[in-house]
Amino acid sequence: MMQLLIQRLALGLLLLILVSILIFAGTMILPGDVAQQILGQSATPEALANLRAELGLNEPPLTRYFDWLGGILTGDLGTALTSGRSISEDIGRRLSNTLFLAFWAAVIAVPLAIFLGLLAVRYKDRWPDKLISAVTLTTISIPEFMIGYVLIYWISIQLGWFPSVAIINDGMSVWQKLDAIAVPVIVLTLVVLAHMMRMTRAAILNVMQSAYIETAELKGLGMLKIIRKHAFPNAIAPIVNVVMLNLAYLVVGVVVVEVVFAYPGMGQYLVDHVSKRDVPVVQACGLIFAAVYIGLNLIADLVSILTNPRLRHPK
Amino acid sequence: MNDELRYLSTRVTKGLMSRRDFIGRAAALGVTAAMANAMIASQVRADGPKKGGTLRMAAQGGSTTDSLDPALATNTVALQAARFWGEPLVELDDDGGITGKVAESFEGSDDATTWRFKLRQGIAFSNGQDVTAEDVVETLDRHAGEDTKSGALGLLRDIQDVRADGDTVEIILKSPNADLPYLMTDYHLMIQPGGGKDDPTAAIGTGPYIMKDVDMGVRFVAEKNPNYWGDLGNAETIEMLVLNDNTARVAALQSGQVDLIDRVPPRTAGLVARAPNITVHQTSGPGHYVFIMHCNTAPFDNNDLRLALKHAINRQEMVDKILFGYGSVGNDTPINASYPFYTEFEQREFDPEKAKFHFDKAGVDGPVLLRTSENSFPGAVDASALFQQSCQAAGIPLEIKREPNDGYWSEVWNVQPFCTSYWGGRPTQDQMFSTAYQSSADWNDTRFFNEQFDQLLVAARAELDQAKRTQMYADMGTLLRDEGGLICPMFNDFIEASSDRVAGFIEGVKGFSLMHNYAPMRMWVV
């Protein structure tokens, strides 16, 4: 098992390096150049030339790649070209905001999705199953910004329960922060619910076809007990997989929700720097997003291994 | 105003009666809700500014990549933030004239080549340091220096020397410029201690507020500067949120999270205004949306084609459908009534006959290619489609190529011969023309090379006789209109909105949006 673990980790690292090469190459072929984007429409040629020289845009790309990789390995992400601030510091703050939002969305969405999935299995093909599927599939089908606007209209403007702007800052207490992010948390929950719920339902239904479930039924066990004790443990692997995919989405894919609620997370930070061609920041964000994705998938793999005796004790 | 209504409106402003009740009573007296709102607003204004409280505003255009260095300010949020803590030598007044800030008064020599700015006595930067003439000299030097990245560099190119002389700063020009004080109002040129050379992002200046909390692209908090010399600044604290999404910004105002927003989308401004506690403010300004042709590139080097296209555009339709009425028609010059030496010309109308005549005379075969993108101005793609239709009526085949937003300003604008774009305008004709229409201009985006125009521009700059100057600008306008590469269908108004939690918005202030960005300081919390 140790060997399997190490294998997975090594694979993850290799993937990260490949991703770093891709990110670096990708940012090189974007149209336009940094100096023009920073100074905007009203840049004079002299100002442009001055800025280009200062930003070191005249160095060869290979040199810049290895300088960059070396910096990351020593924990230094460099400074942003546009503002001259430390990228590690800025990303630290933004990432913790993103994780804060993702955490609360996950805390609500994951248990709710699994519970609804179990409920749907219990009442398979009856009205609760159909209702749950219909509602969650509707919310996943509507674009998230649309759900955001609708909820802003009802919850923030008409009812006045929670604010429409989710800007949080260090001066706020945890309760104030939770109040601020309430609406985006609801939006994110609605967006990720269906995927996890459907997967839970499908995975458990799949297990329910097995002979040992029939045996349990014949022994006279209750439906919920069968699901809980016999079906669910065997369905964990696919469920964890889909949960991790959705967690990854909550961290790296919520740009649109961030924009709608003006939430100061990683997404807005990345987009601002992409549009200004601030290459070091874009690369750092890309790498962090890739690391989150690969990391969460790694965890999903490990959980599948740990919960599956056949993988845990290979012959 | 009827006595009873006046009595009622004072009760509202004193908090003795709700606005809803007031509107109800006013309606009973035959007054519409909009008029009732206006009555309360004027009553609030009559009560005079109130000090204290927190004014919360939301603005569009900020980005995490912004800097507090005024030299690098390129968007409205950065400009607004600079207005909180800093001040230029002089500033535009409400009518587009010049008023003193760091400089108390100024005078030019008779030939307009030497300008003397006398500094205001006894004012200090927010770090306690007194303002000296050397600080001003250093500030101008930082923006005009060899290795500067300042957006004001182009404005300062004609300056030969800047000298400190006691409490006076003397600016000596290479060539006469009657508009020099206007150049000094530029928002990049905030006077900083030591010119801001040591720490350009320190946000230390002589402004009415002091920056307390800055999170770029997210939130700015400014507190009243207790030692400010003037009477600007009513709210104790100003909190500015950056809300770039239109819907989010409007929703924040509607849900009461902010009291003042800029750039209400024209499409929804009418709906926003319907809410009883919200007032929409419409201010005409020098900003305009344009279609630009390179006068030196085939087929646009043919003036007949340019005239054909100028006659083939339906300006009123553009104002109605693209600006939803929040604007005015243009006349193929970048100048409108918001400029000091404005002369009205005969309005060029949509005339398919004339357009066809010029198009046939130009003898261009094949379709004319227009490039556009969604970010070249709001509604640019729709405006291009309207232009295509009106061209069709004149028998001109117009082909539209939609370009990506990304890289539009570096790959298409000022590169391709025919595209959509916008200009924010400048405070004076001289600045607008020398920025974009002089042969040697940095952003001659219509590739307009006209000797007569250039001569007039230089002559007008040195001309102190107002009447002669007005005539020169009128002549230049005619040249541009009849020979230039600019198709200017519309001037866009600034549309802003405030809630009844704040008061004091003054309509018709010249300059940039939000009362030349002084609204947060001049308005007050009711």
Q: Do B443 and A42 touch (CB under 8 A)?
A: yes
* Chain A residue numbers touching B154 (CB-CB < 8 A): 44
- Rounded to an integer, the average pLDDT of A27-42 is 65
Number of H helices, E strands in chain A: 15, 0
* Distance (Å, whole) CA B464 – CA B430: 13
Q: Is B243 on the interface with A (CB under 8 A)?
A: yes
pLDDT tens digit sequence for B270-288: 999 998 899 999 999 899 9
Q: Helices B33-47 and B19-28 sit at what angle, rounded to 10 degrees?
A: 120
Indicate which of A27, A36, A41, A144 best probes the interface with B, i.e. most B CBs within 10 Å of its own CB: A41
Contact B74/A42, CB-based, under 8 Å? yes
* Residue B84 contacts residue B208 (beta carbons within 8 Å): yes
How much is the average pLDDT of B232-241?
96
Tell whether B215 is within 8 A of chain A (Cβ): yes
Q: What topology is assigned to A89-268 in CATH?
A: MetI-like fold (1.10.3720)
CB-defined contacts A:B, below 8 A: 130
A80 neighbourhood in chain B, CB within 8 Å:
65
| Euclidean distance between CA atoms A286 and A24, whole angstroms | 9
Whether the pLDDT of residue B1 is over 50: the answer is no
Q: In the beta sheet, which residues pair with residue A309?
A: none
pLDDT of residue B155: 85
Alpha helices in B100-172 (DSSP H): 133-144
Over residues A39-49, mean pLDDT:
70
pLDDT for B455 equals: 95
Mean pLDDT for B323-352 is 93
Of B149, B215, B252, the CB nearest to A165: B252
**pLDDT band for position B17 (50/70/90)?**
low
Do residues B514 and B305 make contact, with C-beta atoms less than 8 angstroms apart?
no
Backbone dihedral angles phi then psi of residue A135, each to the nearest 5 degrees: -65, -50
Q: For residue B249, what is the nearest residue in chain A, using CA coordinates?
A: A165
A271-307 pLDDT, tens digit per residue, is: 888 877 777 888 888 888 999 989 998 888 888 888 8
How many angstroms separate the CA atoms of B513 and B495, rounded?
8
Residues of A in contact with B151 (CB under 8 A): 39-40, 42-43, 47
Query: For A188-247, how does the pLDDT look when each residue is reduced to its tens digit (9 = 90+)?
Result: 999 999 889 999 999 988 888 888 888 998 998 888 888 888 888 888 888 898 999 999
**Sequence spans of domains, chain A:** 89-268
- Contact list, B426 vs chain A (CB under 8 Å): none
The pLDDT of residue A49: 81
The whole-angstrom distance between B152's CA and the closest CA on chain A is 10
pLDDT for the residue numbered A255: 85
Asked if residue B500 has pLDDT above 50, the reply is yes
Q: Do A42 and B67 touch (CB under 8 A)?
A: no
**Chain A contacts of B403, Cβ < 8 Å?**
none
B443/B413 Cα distance (integer angstroms) = 10
Higher pLDDT, B407 or B136: B136
* Inter-chain touch B407–A32, beta carbons under 8 Å: yes
If you average pLDDT over residues B494-513, what whole number do you get?
A: 93
Q: So what's the pLDDT on residue A46?
A: 78
By the 8 A CB rule, do B382 and B322 touch?
yes
Mean pLDDT taken over chain B: 90
The residue-averaged pLDDT of B128-144 equals 95
The token duo for B313 is: 């555009």
Q: Which amino acid is at B254?
A: Q
The CA-atom distances, in angstroms, between B18 and each of B12, B14, B49, B69 are 6, 10, 20, 45
**Polymer length of chain A:** 315
> Residue B491: its pLDDT value, please?
95
B 373-432 → A contacts, CB under 8 A: 404, 406-407, 409-411, 413
Measured at the alpha carbon of residue A205, what is the angle toward residues A203 and A210, in degrees to the nearest 5?
100
pLDDT level of residue B460 (50, 70, 90 thresholds): very high
Query: Would you tell me how many other CB atoms lie within 10 Å of the CB of residue A4?
Result: 14
Cβ-proximal residues to B58 (8 Å cutoff; 6+ apart), any chain: A165, B240, B241, B242, B243, B249, B252, B253, B257, B258, B260, B261, B262
Q: How large is the ipTM?
A: 0.82
* Residue B486, pLDDT score: 96
Q: Which pLDDT does position A224 carry in this prediction?
A: 82
Q: What is the pLDDT of residues B59-109, one digit of tens each?
A: 998 888 888 999 988 889 999 999 999 999 999 999 888 999 999 999 999
Helix (H) or strand (E) holding A71, with range, is helix A61-73
Please provide residue B125's backbone torsions phi and psi, each rounded to the nearest 5 degrees.
-70, 165
If one counts every other C-beta atom within 10 angstroms of the C-beta of residue B465, the result is: 10
Q: What is the pLDDT of residue A40?
A: 61
pLDDT bucket at B37, cuts 50 / 70 / 90: low
Nearest to residue A40, comparing CAs of A305, A311, A277? A277
DSSP letter assigned to residue B70 = G
In whole angstroms, give the CA distance from residue A72 to residue B30.
Answer: 71
User: How would residue B441 be classed by pLDDT, with cut points 50, 70 and 90?
Assistant: confident
Q: pLDDT exceeding 70 applies to what percent of chain B?
A: 91
Nearest to B482 by CA among B327, B299, B268, B333: B333
> Rg of chain A over CA atoms, in angstroms?
24
Contacts of B181 (CB under 8 A, 6+ apart): B90, B98, B106, B108, B115
Mean model confidence pLDDT for chain A = 86
Residue B13: is its pLDDT beyond 90? no
**Is any Cβ of chain A less than 8 angstroms from the Cβ of B241?**
yes
Shortest alpha-carbon distance between residue A212 and chain B (Å): 54
Nearest to A47 among B153, B244, B257 (CB): B153
